[in-house]
């Protein structure tokens, strides 16, 4: 059974960079045919797919976030990471990592999800 766990600071100051790590167990992030995504849900809003890294290492970003987003991975640790720069209070959300067979993952039933981690942007 694949398990994903998000980790990182719960509070980030405006203009700083948000950094989160997803640690995966029960499966390898280099296994073919899977995409490893970052998704967020701001308070009172729906799920927003931010980007994904494929098993091949190819990386995909939501166009509107591309200039501020960086996704990478450490295959030796079976982890992948999210960095979001120049954050504002509008980036406050629960951030999820997930595995799916589609690049743009927005439905829980389409993959395995971590439990999520709350990130608040505030001074």
Condensed to tens digits (0 to 9), the pLDDT of residues 96-114 reads 999 999 999 999 998 999 9
Length reported for the chain: 123
Residue 94 pLDDT grade (very low, low, confident, very high; cuts 50, 70, 90) = very high
Average pLDDT, the chain: 96
Torsion sign, CA atoms 120, 18, 76, 33: positive
Tokens of 5: 């766990």
pLDDT value of position 72: 98
pLDDT value of position 63: 97
HEC letters along the chain? CCEEEEECCCEECCCCCEEEEEEEECCCCCCCCCEEEEEEECCCCCCEEEEEEECCCCEEECHHHCCCEEEEEECCCCEEEEEECCCCHHHCEEEEEEEECCCCCCCHHHEEECCCEEEEECC
Quick check: 31 pLDDT over 90?
no
């Amino acid at each position: 059974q694949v398990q994903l766990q998000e980790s990182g600071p719960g509070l980030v100051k405006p203009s700083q960079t948000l950094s989160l790590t997803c640690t995966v167990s029960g499966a390898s992030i280099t296994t073919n045919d899977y995409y490893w995504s970052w998704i967020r849900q701001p308070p009172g809003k729906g799920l927003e797919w931010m980007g994904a890294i494929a098993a091949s290492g190819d990386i995909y970003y939501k166009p509107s976030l591309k200039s501020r987003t960086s996704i990478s991975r450490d295959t030796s640790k079976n982890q992948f990471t999210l960095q979001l720069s120049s954050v504002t209070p509008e980036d406050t959300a629960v951030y999820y990592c997930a595995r799916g067979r589609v690049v743009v993952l927005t439905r829980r039933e389409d993959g395995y999800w971590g439990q999520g981690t709350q990130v608040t942007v505030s001074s």
